[in-house]
Each structure stands twice: as C-alpha cells, then as structure tokens.
Amino acid sequence: MPQKNVLQLQSQPAENPALPLRSRNWIERLWSTIAERGRKFAKIPGGDIDRVKRAELLTQALLSERGEASGAAVSRELLHVLRGLGVDERLQYFLFLAEAFHPDSGRLAAAATAYLADQTAMSAAMLFDAAEPPRQEVLRRINMAQGGTALLVHLRKQLQAFLGDHPVLGLLDADLRHLFSSWFNRGFLELRRIDWQTSAAILEKLIAYEAVHEIQGWEDLRRRLAEDRRCFAFFHPALPGEPLIFVEVALVNGLAGSVQNLLERDKDEAAQGARAAAANSAIFYSISNCQDGLRGISFGNFLIKQVVEELREELPGIKQFATLSPVPGLRHWLSGHLEKLELPPVKISNAERDALLEAAGVSPNPEAESELAAALVALLAKESWPKIPALADALKPVMLRLTAFYLTQSAALNFRIDPVARFHLGNGARLERINWLANGNRAGFRESYGIMVNYLYDPAMIEANHEAFVCGGAVAHSAAVEELMQQPRQNLLRRLAAEGIHR
C-alpha cells in the first residue's frame, strides 16, 4: 500500500475532529479533548501567511509551549499543516529543521570545559545534555501528537530523496534515526502470526510490501499461508495496522536448495498437511522491511530469533532453522574483477579450468593468466547459458568457488561484504550451503547469476558465531563451503607429483 494511504489512515482522527467518538479508542478521545480545550491557551499563528512559514512558526511555538493542553493544540495544528505541504515545501521545512535548532554554543562550550576540568559521570551527563540539539525535542513533541509517529516515519522516507543534494539534512536524518532507535526498540514490538484469518487490510499490505519474491495476487498469498508455511510480522503500538517487517517460512524436510520449489502454487491441502507433518526444517525464504522511513533501524535480528523460538515451541519436530537467501552483491563484485580480466585468488582445478575454456571455445594457454576471466566473460554474456547444460555444467564449479570466496573472505579482508550475508552472519548464522541455479527469475540472475545460499541458525552456536563475526570478521561456515575454498585434490596431487612426492 502506498505510504500516502498509510498517512491518511493514521491521521484520520486528527484531521477530522467531527469523526464519531465510538470509532476512536479512549487515548485518542482523551488527546483530542485536551487539544481542543488547549486552543484557547495556545499561541497558534494565524493571518495570511504561506504554509511553510506557518509550519515554521508552529514549530517554534511547539518548542516554547509549557502547558500540556496548549502544546497538544499546537502539535495537532502543526501536523495538519505538515500533511498539506507539497514536495518543495517539505524540502524547505526540512532545511528549516536542520539549520535552525542547533545546540546552544555557549552552554555547550561551558559543559565541555567543565568536563575537561573534572571528568566525572555527572559532568559527562551535563555535556551530553548540552550537546543534544533542540531539534530532537521538537521531534519528540511532534511524536506525542495523535498520528505523529506515522507522520515522522513518512517524513523520513521523503527526507531520503533530498540527502544527496543537501548534506545538511543529514543532521535531521541522524536525529530521526536516533529517536526511532528508542521508540521502535524490541520492548515495544509485538510479534504476530499472519494467516488466512488475518484482516484483509493487513494481508493487502503483505502483498504490497513483499520485496524479495513478489506475491502474485490473493491465490499466491493463500498458498504462502498454507499449513506447511508460516508468516510472522512485527507491529508497533503507534502503528497498529502497519507491519514493520515480516518473514515467510517454509516447513520442509532438509535444506531447501531452490526457491522455485518453495513458491510452487500447490493447492493440494492434504499434501500440504503431509509435508508439514514430515518437516524437520524451517526455511526463512523471504524477509521484507515494510517502512522505508525506518531504514537503518534493525528489526530482523529480533524477528528471526523470536520466530525460531515460536516454531520450536509449536513444532517440536523442527530441528533445523535456516534461510534460502539471495546474494545481491555477487554480480557487482565479480563484474568489477572481470572488467579487468582478472579473477580473485580462487583455487580451481585443471579439469574445471579446461572445461570452462572448452565451453567458451578458448584454447588452453598456461601462460595467459587472463584467459580464464575472458572465458567467464564470454559465457556469462550468453543469456541462454542457464538453459544449455554443457555451459551451465562448465560454469558451476568455478562460480561456486567464486561465491564461497566472496562470502567468506570479504569481512576478513575489509571488502564490502554482501549486505544479506552481513545481516545473517551478524545475527550469528553459519554459511551452510551454496545452491546453484536456485533462483530462476530475472532478478535472481541479474543480482547473483541465480545462486542462493543457506544460512543456518543453530541455537547453540548463534552467540559464538555472532561474536566471532563482529569482533574479528570471522565467517562461520560449513565443511561443504570450506571444501569449495580448498585446493582441489587433482591440482594438489599434480603439484606433489611434480615435486617428487607420491601419495
């Protein structure tokens, strides 16, 4: 659902005081009553002024108000004005917020001097308080208004579009991100299971927000909520009808190696029930963040761990928890090497090398170090290669080794690690398996040549894996992944033989 509709839904009571009281909960009625009574005490600017100027004056009035009722009246009026601003007017208002509410320089300098002279916990607290820009208090007071949280989330989404051209807005973005980290922390989030009995409004949003594997209408959604599937979402009390993030889970036997199998529209309910009963693995195959305005606020780590616990309690037969995940940075990373006709230092056997060169129609030349990269460029440029077994078979071992190198070496070598890998490895998962041609859709090939990976969440090892990754960049991985990174046995035996060593 478009964000503008979200705002309309969230703000309806505030924009329409005549809405019947029975349609509001008691907190909304109380807040509306206080705001209405506070109008006679508030300093609400009037006159013939443009909307941006009115919003600026209301913001300054909001910060200066001390009374609860008058503050409620001002904040309600400010929200009403902000909702009516156009794109250019929003930019003007964002710049106003970023530039007009800096910390008091004299107070900050005095607090810094006091801290340097006497570095105690009390002087540090005073310095922290002096360094906080008044802008954060403005945002807190906007948030207290009915519909204020939804509006601020929406404003931050719009703010993202202006950051490149207006670096000063980074100050406002940082303040919003800081405050959202507190307002949307795990203690406020509610995990709900989504099923076919969930309200149609929520299900519609599930279809709209799916960012990994598009849901093709209601019938497809029904399949994803079947007996051998699970779906969970996090909600926040300030956005009761809006999922913040959701995860789709498939109950299967063993690790899933192809997303096509998970997305099949099987309508046989008896077969779905049988699969659910026989399942020993829960596969997280789609995790979608729903609110662009909350970008940078992490919910996924809490979501996965809580869903694991929910599934362990509901389904004792589930012993393995893993993902089937994309590798969105793979193609970009490999393309950077291939443009220079070079390959990362992966360990490829002579047989794998010869097969790749033959498939590309290149004569082997041991002295040409770039020929293998040139062969890869030639084969991957053929859009039909996934459908030609000889080409796909020649590419497979080399591409799997490259993927293993990319996912395991990036963190240790300070490369820009794949974002999905960073998320799961940082949550304590283990890189378990790399799956060839696991995603046959166009986006899958565009990002990672159809390759997907399984990250395994072993409850007994999550904390140890997390510490090893965040502290030293170590990537926990399985023996199967390790084998892809080792010197192929054929090459090793030839090298030993050449050195006069026989095994």
Q: Closest Cα to residue 239, out of 310, 181, 188?
A: 188
CA gap 352, 333 in Å, rounded = 22
Q: In this structure, what token pair is assigned to residue 450? A: 């159809």
Helix (H/G/I), strand (E/B), else coil: 305? helix
H or E segment and range at residue 233: strand 229-235
Q: In this structure, what token pair is assigned to residue 210? A: 């799916």
CA gap 496, 205 in Å, rounded = 61
Cβ-in-10-Å burial (0-12, 13-18, 19+) of 415 comes to middle
363 noted as active-site residue: no
Taking CA atoms, 97 is separated from 7, 60, 103, 112, in Å, by 21, 10, 13, 25
Which alpha helices (DSSP H) does 65-104 contain, by range?
Answer: 68-83, 87-100
Q: Which of 75, 424, 448, 477 is catalytic?
A: 424
Taking CA atoms, 25 is separated from 4, 77, 231, 427, in Å, by 23, 21, 28, 38
424 noted as active-site residue: yes
Taking CA atoms, 297 is separated from 153, 293, 402, 433, 456, in Å, by 11, 9, 31, 29, 23
Q: Which of 325, 349, 410, 448 is catalytic?
A: 325
Which residues are part of the catalytic machinery?
325, 424
